[in-house]
Amino acid sequence: EKLLEIKNLQKHFNIDRNNVLRAVDGISFDIYKGETFGLVGESGCGKSTAGRTILRLYEATAGEVNFHGENVHAKKSKKELKKFNRSMQMIFQDPYASLNPRMTVKDIIAEGLDIHGLVKSKAERTKRVNELLETVGLNSDHGNRYPHEFSGGQRQRIGIARALAVNPDFIVADEPISALDVSIQAQVVNLLKRLQKERGLTYLFIAHDLSMVKHISDRVGVMYLGSMAEIASSEMLYEEPLHPYTQALLSAIPLPDPEVERSRERIILEGDVPSPINPPSGCRFRTRCPFAMEVCGKVTPESIEHKPEHWVACHLYDDRYNEEYKAKQ
């Protein structure tokens, strides 16, 4: 069952009169109810912008985000917008920067309750906050303190409690563990997993590294320079990556077995990611792709379902264009 349907979503920023930054440039994917969809790519590929545009923190330049079948970017009344804001929440990479340092933890967590009028009395408010603190592994004493009194992991727990306060269906977690010590990362991941089970939450989990999303994601989308290169279940993506970019990302992750590690072929990416202000024509990855063909500079690859539920945007898998490649095989 689809919870979200993202259709040809674009988010462009005007840099100055002549330059447009095409941060997200036409991505399409679905997010199913109760799943974790991992969105992966190098920094600057547009994944955070995509997450924010899906939540309507940014207005879309074009495209649709259908949530429970309704386009969140269509014109809405204040009341309808409030309903969306309640159902969709965000957890940020840097919990410190996203928590107001002058507010007590209690008030930070209760902000959504107040805005949406979800509690009727002070006593009820305190009770709800204490429940939320407990849910994320903190206790009621923590409510009267300030964000700076907590460790990074605890601050991320506060951020999670704040997101949960309004009982959302869907949470965008933008690199929620990247800023944390490795020893703390697993704890926060386990907390997110437990909350998902208990509350039937759906996550969009953003990360810059495929190894980070492997264990938490049901399905994964790989972004490159504002476009979607590949979408598959976690298992399929790790076992049989199709897109040369995904193959390169995976071959950069060291394997635990040194024997296998030494003998395998690596795809080393040459050059830097081009600017999203002036992306390459055709396939965006062609300037770094070891398999680039002539057609790659002329035709933008469409996402095709190469195997059931395994989508890839690359001409190598498109029989209209891959003759040159097949001839070499």
Question: Using CB under 5 A as the criterion, which residues of the chain lie in contact with Mg ion when the complex forms?
Answer: 48
- Residue 316 in contact with ligand SF4, rule: CB under 6 A: yes
The partner in contact with residue 249, picked from ligand SF4, Mg ion, none with C-beta cut-offs of 5 to 8 angstroms by kind, is none
Q: Which stretch binds ligand SF4 (CB under 6 A): 57-65, 131-139, 193-201, 312-320?
A: 312-320
The partner in contact with residue 9, picked from ligand SF4, Mg ion, none with C-beta cut-offs of 5 to 8 angstroms by kind, is none
Q: Is 267 helix (H, G, I), strand (E, B) or coil?
A: coil
**Are the CB atoms for 305 and 294 separated by under 8 Å?**
no
Binding-residue pattern over the window 196 to 235 for ligand SF4, x denoting contact by CB under 6 A: ----------------------------------------
Which one among 159, 234, 283, 303 touches ligand SF4, defined by CB under 6 A? Answer: 283
Q: Which two tokens stand for residue 283?
A: 């396939």
What are the Cα distances from residue 277, in Å, to 9, 41, 288? 17, 18, 17
Which one among 90, 293, 303, 311 touches ligand SF4, defined by CB under 6 A? Answer: 293
Applying CB under 6 A, the site for ligand SF4 has a residue count of: 13
The partner in contact with residue 291, picked from ligand SF4, Mg ion, none with C-beta cut-offs of 5 to 8 angstroms by kind, is ligand SF4
Which one among 292, 303, 310, 311 touches ligand SF4, defined by CB under 6 A? Answer: 292
The partner in contact with residue 48, picked from ligand SF4, Mg ion, none with C-beta cut-offs of 5 to 8 angstroms by kind, is Mg ion
Which one among 22, 73, 142, 315 touches ligand SF4, defined by CB under 6 A? Answer: 315
The whole-angstrom separation of Cα 170 and Cα 91 is 11
Q: Is 310 helix (H, G, I), strand (E, B) or coil?
A: strand
The partner in contact with residue 244, picked from Mg ion, ligand SF4, none with C-beta cut-offs of 5 to 8 angstroms by kind, is ligand SF4
Closest CB to ligand SF4 among residues 159, 226: 226
Map 116-158 to HEC letters. CCCCCCHHHHHHHHHHHHHHCCCCHHHHHCCHHHCCHHHHHHH
Tokens 């770094």 locate to 288
Q: Which stretch binds ligand SF4 (CB under 6 A): 26-34, 116-124, 134-142, 283-291?
A: 283-291
Q: Which two tokens stand for residue 121?
A: 């009395």
**Are the CB atoms for 220 and 234 separated by under 8 Å?**
yes
Closest CB to ligand SF4 among residues 136, 293: 293
**Are the CB atoms for 311 and 304 separated by under 8 Å?**
yes
- Residue 285 in contact with ligand SF4, rule: CB under 6 A: yes
What stretches of 205-310 show up as alpha helix (H) in DSSP? 210-213, 234-239, 244-251, 258-263
What are the Cα distances from residue 158, in Å, to 47, 139, 161, 252, 311? 24, 11, 5, 34, 37
Return the closest-CA partner of residue 143 out of 106, 107, 99.
106
Tokens 């209690």 locate to 106
Q: Which stretch binds ligand SF4 (CB under 6 A): 53-61, 110-118, 230-238, 282-290?
A: 282-290
Return the closest-CA partner of residue 230 out of 29, 52, 65, 67.
29
- Residue 23 in contact with ligand SF4, rule: CB under 6 A: no
Distant-in-sequence, close-in-space partners of 22: CB < 8 Å, separation ≥ 6: 10, 12, 226, 276, 277, 279
Binding-residue pattern over the window 230 to 269 for ligand SF4, x denoting contact by CB under 6 A: --------------x-------------------------
What are the residues binding ligand SF4 (CB under 6 A)? 244, 283, 285-286, 289, 291-293, 296, 301, 314-316
